[in-house]
Amino acid sequence: MVLNGGKKINIEMQNTYQEDWAERSLFYNCRMFTEGLKKGESYYELPPCIHVGILDFNYLKSPGFYHRILLQDDKTGELYSSKFQFHVIELSKLKSTKGKARKQELYRWAKLISASTWEEVREESEGNHYMEKVRDEMIKMSRDESERYLYLREQMAIRDKESQLRSAENRGRREGREEGRKEGRKQGEILKLITMVKKKIENGDSIAKIADDLLEDADVIEKIYDIVKENPEKTREEICEILMNQKI
C-alpha cells in the first residue's frame, strides 16, 4: 500500500516457518524500491519502502516481539538511509514479553492478530475504535463463504509448498546433492505459481494484471499463461515439467 507522501509498505503474514525469510523480504523490498523510480526522476525521489513481516514463528535470535531493521554503520550506528526498512513482528514471542513493551499499542495489535478465540478478539479490541472495526471485519469474513474459501485456498497453497519443499529436501539428502534441493524448491514455487495463474485466467485477468497482482515478472507469467491457454487439459505438474525444461 502507498501512504500519503508516497511511502510504500508491503505487509506479509506467515504462519509456517520460512528458512529463507530474510532473502524473501529483501527480494520484495528491493523490487518495490527499484520500481518506485520513474523515467526522468532522480534517485532522490525514490520513496521510502518498508517491508512488514508478521510471523507466527521465531526467526530472529534477539529477544522481543518487535524488531526494526535499518541500514546503518555497524561501528558507529550512523544511519545510512531510512528509505529501506524491515519491521518484523514475531507473534510467538508475545507470551515472553515483559515490562514496558506490554504497554505499547503495537503489543495490543499483535495480541489481537494472534488471538485464537472470539473471546480473545473481543477482549483485545474492547475500547479501541480502530480495533473494534477490525474485529467486526474479522467476524464478517468468518461468516462470508466466499472470503472463507479464499482464505482456505491460501492456506492450502502454503501447506502444498511446504510439502513439496520437504519432499525435495528428502530427495536431496538421499541423493547427496544440493542441486536436488534447489530444483525441488524451484519446482514447488513454479507449481504454486501455476495454480495461482490458472485461477487468475479463469477470472479473465490479463497477463499484465496477473503479473502485477502476483508481483512476478511479466515474461514468466506470459510463458505460463500461453501454455495454460494452449493446453487446457494439462495438469499443473505437466505444465511445470514443460516450464522446467524451458529453464524458466
C-alpha cell at 121: 478478539
Domain extents in the chain: 1-97, 99-143, 145-245
Instruction: Say yes or no to pLDDT of 154 above 80.
Output: no
Instruction: Say yes or no to pLDDT of 99 above 70.
Output: yes
User: Could you write out the three-class secondary structure of 132-198?
Assistant: HHHHHHHHHHHHCHHHHHHHHHHHHHHHHHHHHHHHHHHHHHHHCCHHHHHHHHHHHHHHHHHHHHH
- Please report which confidence band the pLDDT of residue 70 belongs to, taking 50, 70 and 90 as the band edges: very high
Instruction: Say yes or no to pLDDT of 177 above 70.
Output: no
Q: What is the mean pLDDT of residues 164-190?
A: 70
Distances (CA, A) of 180 to 177, 191, 213, 220, 247: 6, 16, 30, 22, 15
Range in 1-15, 26-40, 90-104, 149-163 with the lowest mean pLDDT: 149-163
Count CA atoms within 13 Å of residue 136 on its CB side.
Answer: 6
Q: What is the mean pLDDT of residues 98-109?
A: 90
The model carries a pTM of: 0.55
Instruction: Say yes or no to pLDDT of 193 above 80.
Output: yes
Mean pLDDT of the chain: 85
